[in-house]
A and B are shown apart, each in its own frame.
Chain A
Amino acid sequence: MTFGVYIHIPFCLQKCAYCDFHSVAMKPEDVPQREYAEAICAELAKLSAQYELRGREVSTIYFGGGTPTLLEPRNLGTILDALRSTFAVAPDAEISIEANPETLEPRNLGTLSHLFTRLSIGIQSFNDKHLQALGRIHSSATAINAVKSAQSAGFKNIGIDIMWGLNGQTIEELKDDLKQAISLNAQHISAYQLTQEPCAQEPPEELARGMFLLVHDTLTAAGFEHYEISNFARPGFRCRHNEIYWHSGEWLGLGSGATGSLRTGTRNLVRRNCSKDIKRYLEHDFTYETEAIGRKSEMAEYCFMALRTSDGIDLKDFKQKFRIEFDEAYPDLQEKWNRAGYTNSQTHKPTISLNLKGWLISDDLFQEFV
């Protein structure tokens, strides 16, 4: 089974109103560069010893945030070196880093392209009016330049994030965003509906539905595969690290606020959240909230996460993992969903996957598993 490492870098130049990931805003010169990288290495040493992870093959590494590119390349390099000396990082490993456009310059992109195989750029919109409303500090021109510079610097696998359902956004504006996104020749596009607190304005249901379908139609027509509810990739360019999450794999989480999911000693799945207290983290005081995932919960998570992907649930894998047939665990469910037209027809191997109709109301459908 593939194994991944997630590293959380909780620093940003500015907090965006919509973002609920753990990060604190600070000036670049105030970011505790070396100290944070060292703390990550210390946590790595501690956890790999504690869980006997040394030498384990790692197929994906993902630096997320926050804005990981606020760490200078040499500090990112320090962390990668530590990972390489702890694990057997596969030669073809996917090593990703998230970045905001304003942090990408030809100056650092050259080094980054040597350290990372994949770059994920948070563009969000090509419309300066909407960018401003979101509280982003970059402009669409900066974003376009960042992608082009990254391509010139040698990145062969670039993902861009865009958001839709923005306050007041029209279908035409979204069409324009999609057109620009496609024209950048990125390998991967994540297209999320803006998620806000319930009190904030959300687009009317029919408009949101129309936008979801527009995104699907436009990107698939442009040659992207719609492989997860909010993710599109050119063939061969899915984000392998995220697939670990969606298919209930194991990963180690490092950094303040990071989540990891590991099977310890016994077969029990344990999820661990590292404290969000950065000060204590920098003092190498690593505290966790752990959660033992019971079998029923694990089964539920396995199913609803997998059903977010176009691959869906591999029924053989389900059986092997939980020692029970899917139909026995959730009687009549397949039949019911088939009849209602929420599922794709069977492929060459026994799977269940949701079609667009199913995805659109998936939060309702997923309640069947809990």
Chain B
Amino acid sequence: MNSDLIRNFCIIAHVDHGKSTLADRLLEATGAITMRERKDQFLDNMELERERGITIKSQTVRLSYKAKDGKTYELNLIDTPGHVDFRYEVSRSLAACEGALLVVDATQGIQAQTVANAFEAIDHKLVLIPVINKIDLPGADIDSTVKQIEETFGIDASHSIPASAKTGEGIKEILEMVVNYLPPPKGRKDAPLRALLIDSWFDSYQGVVSLLRIMDGKIKKGDQVLMMNAGKTYEALKLGIYNPFNVEVNELEAGDVGYLVAGIREVRDTKIGDTVTLQANPAVAALPGFKEIKPIVFAGIYPTDSAQYDELRDALLKLKLNDWSFTYEPESSMALGFGFRCGFLGSLHLEVIMERLEREYNLELISTAPTVGYQVMTTDGAIKTVSNPADFPESQNIEVIEEPYAMVNVISPAEYLGGIFQLCQEKRGEQQHLEYLSQERIRVTYLLPFQELISDFHDRLKACSKGFASLDYELHGYREGELVKLNILINGDPVDALSVIVHRDKAYNQGRDIVQKLRGEIPRQQYEVAIQAAIGNKPIARETVKPLRKNVTAKCYGGDVTRKRKLLEKQKEGKKRMKMVGTVEIPQEAFLSVLKVK
């Protein structure tokens, strides 16, 4: 195919601004799917994606579009994940495109993820087509949204297209603009192959399927290919495209987007951002921008019923097949028994995995409060990464602790600035930058410890801005911190799964807050339950759950037996999500409540 007739583009938008619905309309308008095949948000494959309205895995589709100039174009729409946890995946999808539709909700204006993704796209030299979406809604303000785009990004937005993905208005104009305004791919077909690995997933029949954007050269079925960063070679068994149903082809060439099946068994062997070249005639250099992605957020995941351990292990194995960014390794907790320490890209990633495990594999799970990985140098000079507070060395053995930081961007109506300042300060943030995007909207940048970000930062931000503030972050290195381990003791015994790492200055307040929260979460039991917070051996706070003193049915005769038994069964069922720690029953919520402290 003549690459002048190819356009590679993606859609960038804040969560809920209508990206997936717009993609559906484009598919329909080009006849890629018929109305009969249509289910809402075609590209969001996972049930969970559709339900939560977020895209977790990238998808791509080739649209065949006959433009007004009479020529038929091949439009490759590369869908991008829509959440901050998946920033790197987004950046790789962007690198595969020449242009992007910048979708902004006309009722909400620019939000934090719009900014992050748009600047990323500008960095990648993508040509942007602003799409002012949701113009069918009463509060839509097209002019001010266009103005916001111009002021924020310093680009000419006079070619913005007002649209409604819901009603279909503006869809034709978007397609014409894609053809006329976005440049065709520029790759050299005769150069050695360089293909960008955008995404990969596991298919139980074919093994790992990798999504590629061919930047230079061509790849043919049967070629021996080399993954330049992973350093492994494979045979290209199958090549194809999605239209959106999968169609096999014999070759892919510069400018194309398609998939590769190469008999690869594990997703982790296909690193996103890697460069695929031919073994026989390799490229001189790999494509820029490759990063090894490592999990930043960790949590222990345990079966509520220890008999489900094997099922949990199998489920993790299966999930891992399709999710290269998540890690797990067995661990054991004195409180929770045998489980796994799992690593995630962020707290949403953790939530998604937990939900899939419970829903798709029918498991009852308890997770410990998520924590970041700390770099700890001990007095003997050894450096290790500690991703479980239980493994934290004793304070006298610690030389230096470093914790990960995030550069956090918040966009909000200016009236909530006070609350946002207060929150960021409380979360140990350092202000880096503040600007007015317009008279009413501000963008503020803070350098914030990652641990503070994954506690209840997002909820609190929403609360202090009546839901209007939006958030974007990026990992920003490690810094030394005055951190201590806060032990939580139940009836005098430390419960490893409840311990947390906190800043020394906040330890007292947090300790008090945690034990109070736990008192509220732990139901009354047959015994008095003492809850203590301690730094090292030094207790700093205590609360008591008074024992259950009276719980007895007055009348129980022949006609009451069945009812009584059923009531007991129901009460017992209610206790199922609790974990016996020593002699104390602790509900799942308690393990997470340690996170939600001030």
B548→A361 contact, CB < 8 A: yes
Task: Compute how far the CA of A246 lies from the CA of B561 in the bound complex, rounded to whole angstroms.
Answer: 9
The yes or no answer to B549 lying at the interface (CB within 8 A) is yes
CB neighbors of A among B559-578 (8 A): 559, 561-562, 564-565, 568-569, 571-572, 575
B556→A308 contact, CB < 8 A: yes
B565→A363 contact, CB < 8 A: no
The yes or no answer to B554 lying at the interface (CB within 8 A) is yes
B558→A340 contact, CB < 8 A: no
A364→B551 contact, CB < 8 A: yes
The yes or no answer to A131 lying at the interface (CB within 8 A) is no
Known A-B contacts A245-B557, A253-B558, A291-B562; the reply to A366 vs B549 at CB < 8 A is no
Closest Cβ neighbor of A249 among chain B residues: B558
**Of B551, B556, B558, most A-chain CB atoms within 10 Å:** B558
**Of A192, A259, A365, most B-chain CB atoms within 10 Å:** A259
B558→A367 contact, CB < 8 A: no
A305→B554 contact, CB < 8 A: no
The yes or no answer to B52 lying at the interface (CB within 8 A) is no
The yes or no answer to A359 lying at the interface (CB within 8 A) is yes
Task: Compute how far the CA of A192 lies from the CA of B552 in the bound complex, rounded to whole angstroms.
Answer: 11
The yes or no answer to A47 lying at the interface (CB within 8 A) is no
Give min CB distance, B150 to chain A, whole Å. 60
Give min CB distance, B548 to chain A, whole Å. 5
Known A-B contacts A271-B562, A297-B565; the reply to A360 vs B572 at CB < 8 A is no
Task: Compute how far the CA of A194 lies from the CA of B569 in the bound complex, rounded to whole angstroms.
Answer: 23
Give min CB distance, B5 to chain A, whole Å. 70
Give min CB distance, B154 to chain A, whole Å. 63
Known A-B contacts A304-B568, A361-B548, A370-B572; the reply to A245 vs B553 at CB < 8 A is no
CB neighbors of B among A210-227 (8 A): 212
Task: Compute how far the CA of A362 lies from the CA of B552 in the bound complex, rounded to whole angstroms.
Answer: 5
Closest Cβ neighbor of B552 among chain A residues: A362
The yes or no answer to A301 lying at the interface (CB within 8 A) is yes
A305→B551 contact, CB < 8 A: no
Complex partner residue of A229 from B548, B554, B558, B561, CB under 8 angstroms: B554
The yes or no answer to B39 lying at the interface (CB within 8 A) is no
A242→B557 contact, CB < 8 A: yes
Closest Cβ neighbor of A300 among chain B residues: B565
Give min CB distance, B434 to chain A, whole Å. 53
A370→B565 contact, CB < 8 A: yes
Task: Compute how far the CA of A367 lies from the CA of B526 in the bound complex, rounded to whole angstroms.
Answer: 12
Known A-B contacts A304-B564, A304-B568, A370-B572; the reply to A361 vs B558 at CB < 8 A is no
Closest Cβ neighbor of B566 among chain A residues: A370
A212→B552 contact, CB < 8 A: yes
The residues of B that contact A242 with a CB separation of less than 8 Å are 557
The residues of A that contact B548 with a CB separation of less than 8 Å are 361, 364
Closest Cβ neighbor of A242 among chain B residues: B557
The yes or no answer to A283 lying at the interface (CB within 8 A) is no
B572→A367 contact, CB < 8 A: yes
B558→A6 contact, CB < 8 A: yes
A369→B550 contact, CB < 8 A: no
B550→A208 contact, CB < 8 A: yes
A361→B572 contact, CB < 8 A: no
Give min CB distance, B253 to chain A, whole Å. 68
CB neighbors of A among B519-557 (8 A): 526-527, 548-557
The residues of B that contact A206 with a CB separation of less than 8 Å are 549
Q: How large is the interface on A (under 10, 10 to 19, 20 to 34, 35 or more residues)?
A: 35 or more
Closest Cβ neighbor of B561 among chain A residues: A301
Task: Compute how far the CA of A340 lies from the CA of B557 in the bound complex, rounded to whole angstroms.
Answer: 28
The residues of A that contact B562 with a CB separation of less than 8 Å are 271, 291
CB neighbors of A among B500-523 (8 A): none
Complex partner residue of A245 from B527, B552, B558, B575, CB under 8 angstroms: B558
B556→A205 contact, CB < 8 A: no
Complex partner residue of B555 from A192, A244, A253, A361, CB under 8 angstroms: A192
A192→B554 contact, CB < 8 A: yes
A363→B552 contact, CB < 8 A: yes
As a 0/1 sequence over residues 400 to 424 of chain B, the CB contacts with chain A under 8 angstroms (1 = contact) are: 0000000000000000000000000
Closest Cβ neighbor of A339 among chain B residues: B583
The residues of A that contact B553 with a CB separation of less than 8 Å are 195, 229, 362-363
The yes or no answer to A23 lying at the interface (CB within 8 A) is no
B555→A363 contact, CB < 8 A: no
CB neighbors of B among A248-278 (8 A): 251, 253, 258-261, 271, 273
The yes or no answer to A280 lying at the interface (CB within 8 A) is no
Task: Compute how far the CA of A205 lies from the CA of B554 in the bound complex, rounded to whole angstroms.
Answer: 14
A363→B551 contact, CB < 8 A: yes
A367→B571 contact, CB < 8 A: yes
The residues of B that contact A362 with a CB separation of less than 8 Å are 551-553
The residues of A that contact B575 with a CB separation of less than 8 Å are 367
Task: Compute how far the CA of A205 lies from the CA of B561 in the bound complex, rounded to whole angstroms.
Answer: 25
A193→B554 contact, CB < 8 A: yes
Task: Compute how far the CA of A366 lies from the CA of B556 in the bound complex, rounded to whole angstroms.
Answer: 13
The yes or no answer to A209 lying at the interface (CB within 8 A) is yes
**Of A304, A308, A367, most B-chain CB atoms within 10 Å:** A367
The residues of A that contact B549 with a CB separation of less than 8 Å are 205-206, 209, 360-361
A301→B565 contact, CB < 8 A: yes
Give min CB distance, B545 to chain A, whole Å. 14
CB neighbors of B among A1-31 (8 A): 6, 21
Give min CB distance, A235 to chain B, whole Å. 23
Closest Cβ neighbor of A163 among chain B residues: B554
B552→A361 contact, CB < 8 A: yes
A366→B568 contact, CB < 8 A: yes
**Of B526, B551, B554, most A-chain CB atoms within 10 Å:** B554
B561→A271 contact, CB < 8 A: yes
Closest Cβ neighbor of A259 among chain B residues: B559
Task: Compute how far the CA of A308 lies from the CA of B564 in the bound complex, rounded to whole angstroms.
Answer: 12
The yes or no answer to A230 lying at the interface (CB within 8 A) is yes
Complex partner residue of B568 from A244, A308, A367, CB under 8 angstroms: A367
The residues of B that contact A366 with a CB separation of less than 8 Å are 568
Task: Compute how far the CA of A21 lies from the CA of B550 in the bound complex, rounded to whole angstroms.
Answer: 24
CB neighbors of B among A283-303 (8 A): 291, 297, 300-301
Closest Cβ neighbor of B548 among chain A residues: A361
A370→B561 contact, CB < 8 A: no
Give min CB distance, B557 to chain A, whole Å. 5
Task: Compute how far the CA of A181 lies from the CA of B495 in the bound complex, rounded to whole angstroms.
Answer: 52
**Of B527, B568, B575, most A-chain CB atoms within 10 Å:** B568
Complex partner residue of B550 from A230, A305, A360, CB under 8 angstroms: A360
The residues of A that contact B557 with a CB separation of less than 8 Å are 242, 245
Closest Cβ neighbor of B567 among chain A residues: A363
A370→B568 contact, CB < 8 A: yes
Known A-B contacts A209-B550, A367-B572, A370-B569; the reply to A251 vs B558 at CB < 8 A is yes
Known A-B contacts A206-B549, A229-B552, A305-B556; the reply to A363 vs B568 at CB < 8 A is yes
CB neighbors of B among A321-370 (8 A): 340, 359-367, 369-370
Task: Compute how far the CA of A273 lies from the CA of B549 in the bound complex, rounded to whole angstroms.
Answer: 34
B568→A369 contact, CB < 8 A: yes
B572→A212 contact, CB < 8 A: no
Give min CB distance, A50 to chain B, whole Å. 20
Task: Compute how far the CA of A369 lies from the CA of B551 in the bound complex, rounded to whole angstroms.
Answer: 16
Known A-B contacts A209-B549, A212-B550, A230-B554; the reply to A361 vs B565 at CB < 8 A is no
Task: Compute how far the CA of A36 lies from the CA of B394 in the bound complex, rounded to whole angstroms.
Answer: 80
B568→A205 contact, CB < 8 A: no
The residues of B that contact A364 with a CB separation of less than 8 Å are 526, 548, 551
A340→B550 contact, CB < 8 A: no
The residues of A that contact B559 with a CB separation of less than 8 Å are 21, 253, 258-259, 273
The residues of A that contact B569 with a CB separation of less than 8 Å are 370
The residues of A that contact B555 with a CB separation of less than 8 Å are 192, 195, 230
Task: Compute how far the CA of A246 lies from the CA of B571 in the bound complex, rounded to whole angstroms.
Answer: 21
Q: Which 5 residue pairs spanning A and B have beta carbons closest together?
A: A259-B559, A192-B554, A245-B558, A209-B550, A363-B551
What are 9 residue pairs bridging A and B, where the CB atoms are less than 8 Å apart in the complex?
A21-B559, A209-B549, A258-B559, A304-B568, A359-B552, A360-B550, A360-B551, A361-B552, A367-B575
A-B contacts besides A271-B561, A360-B550, A361-B552, 8 pairs, CB < 8 Å = A193-B552, A195-B555, A261-B558, A308-B556, A361-B550, A363-B551, A364-B548, A370-B565
